Amino acid sequence: MTLKKYNQGMSKIHLSPYEIILKKRNGGNLSELEIDFMVRGFNECAIPPYQFSSFLMAVFFRGMSEDEIFSLTKSMMNSGEVLSLSEISKYTVDKHSTGGVGDKVSIILAPLAAAGGVTVPMMCGRSLGHTGGTLDKLESIRGFRTNLSKKDFFRNLKKSKVAMMGQTEKIAPADKKIYALRDITATVDSIPLIAASIMSKKLAEGAKALLLDVKTGNGAFIKDIGDSEKLARLMVKIAKKMKRKCTAVITDMNQPLGYAIGNSLEIKECIETLHDRGPEDLKSLCVEFAAHMFLLGKKTKSIQAGKILALRLIKDGSAFRKLCEMAKNQGGDVKSLENPSLLPSAKYICRLKSAGKGYIKGINTHEIGLTAVMIGAGRKDLSSKIDPGAGIMLHKKIGDFTEKGEPLATIYTSRKNLTGYAKERLLDSFSISKTVPAKQKLIHRIIR
Ligand code: URA
């Protein structure tokens, strides 16, 4: 529908993008109709990007009321197909993270929750800015297809209770277009825009319940804990209004999660974790999240019971077997999961040694993420290709002691010319102190 027709359809009401932008710029509250008019107009190319950018900037500075955010979410959700998964299962539970460095939780959690009987229809994203993307990580398993048809997605869910794929063109297309514009107009880190972006696609994907991992800290998009809490509460409210169950967990991103950063390195760490040999922070977050998913999916009656179930499914190998089953369904090379040395690896490996002696007091996680992108683990722009074997393996995290000359990290890359600069950037990302720093909290808050 063109904007003109939309305007005509609105009986005698005539809306103007200019007047709506002006109203928001002056701090006014927009009606559901005005917001829908802007979203549809931009999605259908009737409102040009320069006007929509101005609208986004007005929202960035003036914010939005809860009603406005809800209207924005609904318009974006209804811009494409809204799936119903009721033919697959009564209790479908999806999980979404706001994005972090070394955040590989979904790849462990989806098969773990499915092994416990929850149906997990997971639509995931690609790397964004300094953060990695689940789709890119999965694609480092040779042959793994993330562009499933709806028919294959549904078939795999019925057969194995788990499927992981990319957002289709038909799901919340307005979010895709608006996100691309936000990315180049400095309007990403806005709470109303993030909430509407995440919730519009998650609601359109049709899961009955949703677990949200809201990252906070120097490696997250939202760095301040108060703002992260606002975002989490807002998303839970939106879900409730749309009659979906939702739990949001605010988790720490002041250092990478686990030790591996980069696609195949992270798959190896996921395999280790599913064999119960993974890093403690990663394992405990996955177990906590699985317990929430079991509760949301009515598989257990308490978080404690869910944690016990999750630990058992890791220990007896069911969760790892489920990962292999999902990979097989989606064309992935299962042999490389059974023998991770077959996963892609980078040509050059070099060690970063500590310049001083003491305790690791802080890690600039954003810088580590950007360094990983630079050496090939992420995309600098839409056209760049990811090197699946590139990345960084940390050897020390906050609170660890290091001697001078001890390895802090190992760099994996196929771009030898960048190793010197990568080492410099990484070295600057660690701060060392003579005193033992306070213990890092992994889970800050849980909002139901
Ligand atoms: N992830 C999203 O899907 N949208 C945002 O706006 C930010 C992170």
Which contacts (CB < 8 Å, 24+ apart) does range 399-404 have? 399/359, 399/360, 399/436, 399/437, 399/439, 399/440, 400/359, 400/360, 401/358, 401/359, 401/360, 402/354, 402/356, 402/357, 402/358, 402/359, 402/360, 402/432, 403/354, 403/357, 404/354, 404/355, 404/356, 404/357
pLDDT on residue 3: 57
In a domain, 155, yes or no: yes
In a domain, 364, yes or no: yes
Q: End-to-end CA distance of the chain, in Å?
A: 39
In a domain, 74, yes or no: no
Residues 120 and 214 in one domain: yes
Calculate the alpha carbon distances from 231 to 90, 222, 235, 330 in Å: 28, 9, 6, 34
Residues 274 and 363 in one domain: no
The radius of gyration of the chain's CA atoms, rounded to the nearest angstrom, is: 22
User: Residue 195 is encoded by which pair of tokens?
Assistant: 């909430």
- Residue reference for tokens 């989606």: 330
Residues 368 and 292 in one domain: no
Q: How far is residue 53's CA from residue 378's CA, in Å, rounded to a whole number?
A: 26
pLDDT on residue 127: 83
Give residues (CB < 6 A) around ligand 1: 98-99, 193-194, 197-198, 221
- Choose one of 291, 311, 340: the last residue of a domain: 340
CB atoms within 10 A of CB 448: 12
In a domain, 114, yes or no: yes
Ligand 1 midpoint to CA 406 (Å): 38
Residues 330 and 385 in one domain: no
Looking at this protein, which amino acid is placed at residue 14?
H
Residues 6+ apart with CB under 8 A from 1: 9, 40, 44
pLDDT on residue 4: 57
Ligand 1 midpoint to CA 275 (Å): 31
Residue ID of nearest Cα to ligand 1 atom 7:
194
Residue ID of nearest Cα to ligand 1 atom 2:
198
Q: Which CATH number covers residue 37?
A: 1.20.970.10
Residue ID of nearest Cα to ligand 1 atom 8:
98
Ligand 1 midpoint to CA 319 (Å): 28
Residues 42 and 98 in one domain: no
Which ligand 1 atom sits nearest the alpha carbon of residue 194?
Answer: 6
Ligand 1 midpoint to CA 441 (Å): 24
In a domain, 159, yes or no: yes
Residues 335 and 387 in one domain: no
Ligand 1 midpoint to CA 236 (Å): 15
Q: Best substitution site from 94, 98, 222 to test ligand 1's pocket, by max atoms within 8 Å of Cβ?
A: 98
pLDDT tens readout for residues 388-423: 999 999 999 999 999 999 999 999 999 999 999 999
- Choose one of 295, 316, 340: the last residue of a domain: 340
Residues 273 and 140 in one domain: yes
Which ligand 1 atom sits nearest the alpha carbon of residue 193?
Answer: 6
Which ligand 1 atom sits nearest the alpha carbon of residue 182?
Answer: 6
Which residues participate in catalysis according to the annotation? 96, 175, 182, 197, 201
Q: List b or e across 365-387, with b for residues whose CB sees 16 or more CB atoms inside 10 angstroms.
A: bbbbbbbbbbbbbbbeeeeeebb
Ligand 1 midpoint to CA 337 (Å): 30
pLDDT on residue 184: 85
Q: What is the largest CA-CA distance in the chain?
A: 75
Ligand 1 midpoint to CA 223 (Å): 14
Residues 6+ apart with CB under 8 A from 143: 331, 332, 333
In a domain, 84, yes or no: no
User: 252 has which bridge partners?
Assistant: 216
pLDDT on residue 129: 82
Residues 335 and 361 in one domain: no
Q: Best substitution site from 59, 190, 198 to test ligand 1's pocket, by max atoms within 8 Å of Cβ?
A: 198
Q: Which CATH number covers residue 201?
A: 3.40.1030.10
In a domain, 443, yes or no: no
Q: How far is residue 210's CA from residue 219's CA, in Å, rounded to a whole number?
A: 23
Which ligand 1 atom sits nearest the alpha carbon of residue 201?
Answer: 3
Q: Best substitution site from 97, 189, 221, 223 to test ligand 1's pocket, by max atoms within 8 Å of Cβ?
A: 221
Domain extent for 132? 93-340
Calculate the alpha carbon distances from 156 to 162, 171, 350, 443 in Å: 7, 19, 41, 32
Q: Are 207 and 85 in contact (CB under 8 A)?
A: yes
Q: How far is residue 96's CA from residue 114's CA, in Å, rounded to a whole number?
A: 16
pLDDT on residue 9: 57
Residue ID of nearest Cα to ligand 1 atom 5:
194
Q: Best substitution site from 97, 179, 201 to test ligand 1's pocket, by max atoms within 8 Å of Cβ?
A: 179
Q: Are 120 and 94 in contact (CB under 8 A)?
A: yes
Sign of CA dihedral 106, 107, 112, 115: positive
Residue ID of nearest Cα to ligand 1 atom 1:
98
Q: Which CATH number covers residue 351?
A: 3.90.1170.30
Residues 56 and 125 in one domain: no
Residues 103 and 206 in one domain: yes
Residues 146 and 293 in one domain: yes
How many structural domains does the chain have?
A: 3
User: 95 has which bridge partners?
Assistant: 211
pLDDT tens readout for residues 61-94: 999 999 999 999 999 999 999 999 988 998 999 9
In a domain, 80, yes or no: no
- Tell whether pTM > 0.85: yes
Residues 116 and 192 in one domain: yes
- Choose one of 340, 365, 390: the last residue of a domain: 340
pLDDT < 50 positions in the chain: 1, 11
Ligand 1 midpoint to CA 304 (Å): 31
pLDDT on residue 13: 61
Residue ID of nearest Cα to ligand 1 atom 6:
194
